[in-house]
A and B are shown apart, each in its own frame.
Chain A
Amino acid sequence: MSRVVVLGAGISGHTAAAFARSWLGRGDTVTVVSPRPDYNWVPSNIWVGVGLMKAEKVTFPLAPIYERAGIEFVQASAREIHPEGDPDSDTPYVTAESADGAITRVPYDYLINATGPALRFDKTEGLGPEGGHSLSVCLPGHAVQAAAALEEEVERMRRGERRRFLVGVGHGTCTCEGAAFEYIVNLEFELRNRGVRDKAEITWITNEYELGDFGMGGMHLKRGGYITPSSIFNASLFAERGIDWITRAHVGKVEPDRVLYETLDGKQGEQEFDFAMLLPPFSGVGLKAVGRDGTDITERLFMPNEFMRVDADYTPKPYEDWKASDWPRTYQSPEYRNVFAAGIAFAPPHAISVPRKSPNGTVIAPAPPRTGMPSAMIGKAVASSVVDMIGGADAPSHTASMAEMGAACVASAGANPFTGTAASMTVFPIVPDFERYPEYGRDADRTFGEIGLAGHWIKIVLHHLFLYKARLRPGWRRIPE
């Protein structure tokens, strides 16, 4: 009998747990440790945040799903990993703290860390909806709050007031610019639908060097006889929609009515707002690792940014020397063969976008995204390897390198079945491979993007399909990640 423990029930952890359970025998156990009782289909939080969807439409309780599937569920926050056990027992275990402060000890034979990110609003003074002056759509509750604030702004504009909207990222090292992009174009679309667009001034603020970077170093798309950078398409969409933009910016402080920011050229600026939705930077969730004798071995398992070390090449090197092969393939910890990290929880070897600093030494460059499709694919590959190792394999049998896989992404640009649009994009591979594709790092025939109503239909289909899959309804395994 083997015990597989999965920390986290987001896209990656839920996928890993569900597949591991379906492939393992009944004598083996799969346990999920997660602090939240609900699953959240995060990509649709955007629609909650503009008031088009209720939070209940993007979440569902995990306990009944796991009970039906035969997965044990511990609703608690993972705190410590004891990969060598303790002086009384060699059995590895994790400790988890529930909301009432009770500590649970969860033993494992194989551990999959899929804890996702900690939302580090604290990295920027005044950032965030909890004690700060800006809104977020990272969690369903945040999105509900943003929708309520937007409703108030719409009422003010209906009374004739002009209002200023600021959307983007709230720190120079943020990732997930794509989610903020979806929010700003949906916001603009909704203001038009509600007849108040002429009263709104909308501005995008980003740490990207150019629009359309999205933490992936941008994309080059073959359209109309040209290979065109994504910055052109992004600027075109903003110009068409009357959205202004500030690029290369690190937001250093959020005040009740303005942000103070620094740009890559070292200049200081400020932008006033009435409504600000700014995403936070991420870190790992702060798991500790403890040796058999009680010593702190966190540095052996985790990088300083609290994400878990896996089979990547973490040797510090200049941008010119970055390679696709630096990126992890199996997501196995180099220290413990039975420990893996999946989704956002693994430490990337470096960024994808070019690293940049202002003359003041402020890092202003997007961190690499690893959400959605790649997170689910990594979770599934890790589950496959774990199941094979339980069956006797010496080493991980499956790989899911972001430098070898592509991604399909649909970014909503306005939700309406007849007048809505979305940008449909594919990239291959996610992490550019300049040895294989010397000019742009990606396969130009498989890196594609277009905007239109078809993209919105696809987005709607994916919303329902992935929630169906996450609920582990009949045939869920046949739906790709």
Chain B
Amino acid sequence: MDSEHATYATKPTAFTKFMRTFIPWQMWRFAAINLKMIEIIRRSHHGDSPK
């Protein structure tokens, strides 16, 4: 059982937790994360359609 390990885990501050659901900040993150994901999708497709 690793229960004591939780004592040594990193925990978020109140500010970090607030920002996770702070809507104006999250709207910005929504756009930023989408751009990151689109970049991954673009790099991962190698000319999908038949030649």
- For the complex of A and B, the 10 pairs showing the least CB-CB separation, nearest first, are A239-B9, A405-B44, A454-B30, A454-B29, A408-B37, A406-B40, A387-B50, A235-B9, A453-B26, A239-B6
- Besides the known contacts A373-B41, A426-B37, A454-B27, 5 further A-B residue pairs in the complex with CB atoms under 8 A apart: A245-B3, A246-B2, A373-B44, A452-B26, A454-B29
In A366-418, the 8 Å CB interface with B consists of 373, 377, 380-381, 384, 387-388, 391, 393, 397-400, 404-408, 418
Q: A232, A247, A400, A419: which contacts B46 (Cβ < 8 A)?
A: A400
Interface pair A246/B20, CB less than 8 Å apart: no
Interface pair B29/A245, CB less than 8 Å apart: no
Most buried by B among A235, A247, A451, A453: A453
Interface pair A480/B45, CB less than 8 Å apart: yes
Main secondary structure of the interface of A (DSSP, over half): mixed
Q: A393, A407, A454: which contacts B40 (Cβ < 8 A)?
A: A407
The number of chain B residues touching the other chain, given as a range, is 20 to 34
State the Cβ distance, B16 to closest chain A Cβ, in Å: 9
Q: How far is the CA of A410 from the CA of B43 in the complex (A)?
A: 18
Interface pair A377/B45, CB less than 8 Å apart: yes
State the Cβ distance, A267 to closest chain B Cβ, in Å: 11
Interface pair B9/A238, CB less than 8 Å apart: yes
Does A268 sit within 8 A of B, measured CB to CB?
A: no
List chain A residues, Cβ under 8 A from B21: 418-419, 421, 452-453
Interface pair A391/B41, CB less than 8 Å apart: no
Q: How far is the CA of A453 from the CA of B18 in the complex (A)?
A: 11
Interface pair A269/B1, CB less than 8 Å apart: yes
Q: How far is the CA of A269 from the CA of B47 in the complex (A)?
A: 51
Interface pair B6/A244, CB less than 8 Å apart: yes
Q: B11, B30, B51: which contacts A458 (Cβ < 8 A)?
A: B30
List chain A residues, Cβ under 8 A from B17: 240
Does A136 sit within 8 A of B, measured CB to CB?
A: no
7 A-B pairs within 8 Å (CB atoms) are namely A232-B9, A244-B3, A246-B1, A408-B40, A424-B33, A446-B36, A455-B33
Interface pair A393/B51, CB less than 8 Å apart: yes
List chain A residues, Cβ under 8 A from B26: 452-454, 457
State the Cβ distance, A369 to closest chain B Cβ, in Å: 16
State the Cβ distance, B22 to closest chain A Cβ, in Å: 8
State the Cβ distance, B3 to closest chain A Cβ, in Å: 5
Q: How far is the CA of A195 from the CA of B50 in the complex (A)?
A: 54
Interface pair B51/A450, CB less than 8 Å apart: no
Q: How far is the CA of A26 from the CA of B34 in the complex (A)?
A: 37
Q: How far is the CA of A245 from the CA of B2 in the complex (A)?
A: 6
List chain A residues, Cβ under 8 A from B1: 244, 246, 269, 271
List chain A residues, Cβ under 8 A from B50: 23, 384, 387-388, 391, 397
Does A448 sit within 8 A of B, measured CB to CB?
A: yes
Most buried by A among B19, B23, B47, B49: B49
Does A236 sit within 8 A of B, measured CB to CB?
A: yes
Given contacts A381-B48, A421-B21, A428-B40, are A454 and B33 in contact (CB under 8 A)?
A: yes
Main secondary structure of the interface of B (DSSP, over half): helix
Given contacts A398-B47, A406-B44, are A235 and B33 in contact (CB under 8 A)?
A: no
Most buried by A among B19, B23, B33, B47: B33
A residues bordering B, Cβ < 8 Å?
23, 232, 235-236, 238-240, 244-247, 269, 271, 373, 377, 380-381, 384, 387-388, 391, 393, 397-400, 404-408, 418-419, 421, 424, 426, 428, 446, 448, 450-455, 457-458, 480-481
Most buried by A among B3, B11, B17, B44: B44
Q: How far is the CA of A246 from the CA of B1 in the complex (A)?
A: 5
List chain B residues, Cβ under 8 A from A446: 36, 39-40, 43
State the Cβ distance, A189 to closest chain B Cβ, in Å: 12
Q: A240, A269, A381, A457: which contacts B30 (Cβ < 8 A)?
A: A457
CB nearest neighbor in B for A377: B44
Most buried by A among B12, B23, B37: B37
State the Cβ distance, B42 to closest chain A Cβ, in Å: 8
List chain B residues, Cβ under 8 A from A454: 26-27, 29-30, 33
Q: B11, B19, B27, B30: which contacts A239 (Cβ < 8 A)?
A: B11
State the Cβ distance, A299 to closest chain B Cβ, in Å: 32
Q: How far is the CA of A406 from the CA of B45 in the complex (A)?
A: 9
Q: B10, B45, B51: which contacts A236 (Cβ < 8 A)?
A: B10
Interface pair A397/B20, CB less than 8 Å apart: no
CB nearest neighbor in A for B6: A239
List chain A residues, Cβ under 8 A from B2: 244-247
Q: How far is the CA of A453 from the CA of B9 in the complex (A)?
A: 22
Q: How far is the CA of A393 from the CA of B51 in the complex (A)?
A: 9
Q: How far is the CA of A428 from the CA of B3 in the complex (A)?
A: 33
CB nearest neighbor in B for A428: B40
Given contacts A446-B39, A458-B30, are A236 and B5 in contact (CB under 8 A)?
A: no
List chain B residues, Cβ under 8 A from A398: 46-48
List chain B residues, Cβ under 8 A from A399: 46
